């Protein structure tokens, strides 16, 4: 708690010293002007599971699997290629060239295939001379050319990393690509990935549709919860048009328990984070499908009000997260980080419900509405490294 208060105090100091950032949280965002990201993006990204070992067949098969599993109908539309897709050298016109050995058909043909499935294709570049793998060129100095190339291929999403640059501030380099994309003639979702280094929540709203608030995630409990903590500090800056991004989902990659993955998906959903699957959807397990295909939890993430939840109470190893939803409802996440089963109480005065209000509670993981009506608080017993997630609706 003490660390969180110090962190919030430092953030408040930064905000109050930055007039433009202060104005940004008061006014609605419509500055990027691409009409995208009214809700957080949903889809898949290649990096967490495949790293550099990607090719066009994996991308096609993933697109097929999003359709065949029904995930595309739930909103998972973006099929995003990460690093290592291009040749190490540009062609004689200075253009990026898909790697012949892995993407022989080219990106236009691949985009056409993905679009034929009713999905969207995403790609990766870097605000530096080379990407993070150093296996392909970055876009620094080639922003307009690359944006036009991506648009001509039919690209719908650009993840833009921050490696191997000229050490200038990302606040100077990223807007160059923003302007290039706006002139490219095709709406392209712009995902800033400078790992939260320069507090992109303070300036990302004029530059991109999402911005990484953390370093890369890994498939462990400690990594996941620490990314959630870092991301939560910036909750006030997320809203329709631009979202805080604690990195892609690890659900299904095998490093955590099912309960831990349920927490992972629940926090990302209530935090209005991008829901980008990071496992191999061609070989998806029943447990993984139960998590990432939970329509009720997805609906919290995609709620049109677009307000990111916050931690409203912490006591020892347990936490209560809450955030408003449309139609006067509230999403609540009760989470046990400790090693022992424990009872946790969510109080109305913490989560923003008038004290004497009676509510009905919908359990989003049990898929049932609780018979009891609750007034003043709700208590649940939660296993170690597990959670309960509810939507509370006032009854008058």
Would you please indicate which residues are annotated as catalytic (active-site) residues?
A: 161, 216
Could you tell me whether strands 374-375 and 358-363 are parallel, antiparallel, or unpaired per DSSP bridges?
A: antiparallel
Specify the 3-state DSSP secondary structure of 150. helix
Residue 208 buriedness (CB in 10 A; 0-12 / 13-18 / 19+): buried
What is the rounded distance in angstroms from the CA atom of residue 114 to the CA atom of residue 155? 10
HEC sequence for 164-178:
CCCCCCHHHHHHHHH
Q: In this structure, are residues 290 and 251 in contact, taking their beta carbons and an 8 Å threshold?
A: no
Q: Are 43 and 78 in contact (CB under 8 A)?
A: yes
Q: Which stretches within the chain are classed as H helix?
A: 2-16, 19-24, 47-50, 56-68, 107-116, 143-153, 170-182, 221-232, 258-270, 286-292, 295-301, 348-351
Q: What sign for the dihedral angle of Cα 75, 385, 229, 348?
A: positive
Can you tell me the distance from the alpha carbon of 128 to that of 209, in angstroms, rounded to the nearest whole number? 20
């Amino acid at each position: 708690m003490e660390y969180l208060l110090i962190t919030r105090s430092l953030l408040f100091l930064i905000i109050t010293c930055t007039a433009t950032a202060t104005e940004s949280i008061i006014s609605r965002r419509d500055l990027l002007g691409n009409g995208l990201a009214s809700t957080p993006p949903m889809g898949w990204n290649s990096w967490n599971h495949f790293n550099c070992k990607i090719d066009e067949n994996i991308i096609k098969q993933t697109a097929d699997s999003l359709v065949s599993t029904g995930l595309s109908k739930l909103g998972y539309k973006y099929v995003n290629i990460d690093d290592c897709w291009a040749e190490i050298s540009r062609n004689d016109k200075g253009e990026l060239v898909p790697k012949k050995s892995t993407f022989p058909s080219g990106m236009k043909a691949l985009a056409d295939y993905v679009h034929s499935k009713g999905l969207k294709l995403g790609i990766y570049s870097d605000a530096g001379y080379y990407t993070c793998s150093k296996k392909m060129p970055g876009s620094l100095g080639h922003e307009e050319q690359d944006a036009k190339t991506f648009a001509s291929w039919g690209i719908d999403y650009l993840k833009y990393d921050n490696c191997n640059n000229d050490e200038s501030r990302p606040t100077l380099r990223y807007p160059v690509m923003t302007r290039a994309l706006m002139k490219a003639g095709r709406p392209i979702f712009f995902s800033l990935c400078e790992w939260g280094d320069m507090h992109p929540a303070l300036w990302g709203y004029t530059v991109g549709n999402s911005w990484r608030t953390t370093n890369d995630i890994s498939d462990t409990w400690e990594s996941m919860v620490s990314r959630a903590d870092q991301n939560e500090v910036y909750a006030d800056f997320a809203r329709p048009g631009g979202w805080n991004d604690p990195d892609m989902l690890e659900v299904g990659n095998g490093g955590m328990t099912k309960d831990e993955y349920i927490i992972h998906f629940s926090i990302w959903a209530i935090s209005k984070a991008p829901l980008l699957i990071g496992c191999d959807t061609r070989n998806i397990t029943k447990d993984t499908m139960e998590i990432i295909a939970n329509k009720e939890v997805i609906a919290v993430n995609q709620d049109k009000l677009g307000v990111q939840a916050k931690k409203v109470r912490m006591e020892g190893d347990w936490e209560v997260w809450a955030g408003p939803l449309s139609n006067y409802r509230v999403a609540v996440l009760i989470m046990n980080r400790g090693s022992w089963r424990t009872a946790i109480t969510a109080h109305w005065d913490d989560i923003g419900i008038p004290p004497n209000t009676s509510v009905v509670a919908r359990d989003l993981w049990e898929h049932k509405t609780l018979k009891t009506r609750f007034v003043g608080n709700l208590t649940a017993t939660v296993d170690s490294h597990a959670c309960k997630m509810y939507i509370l609706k006032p009854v008058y």
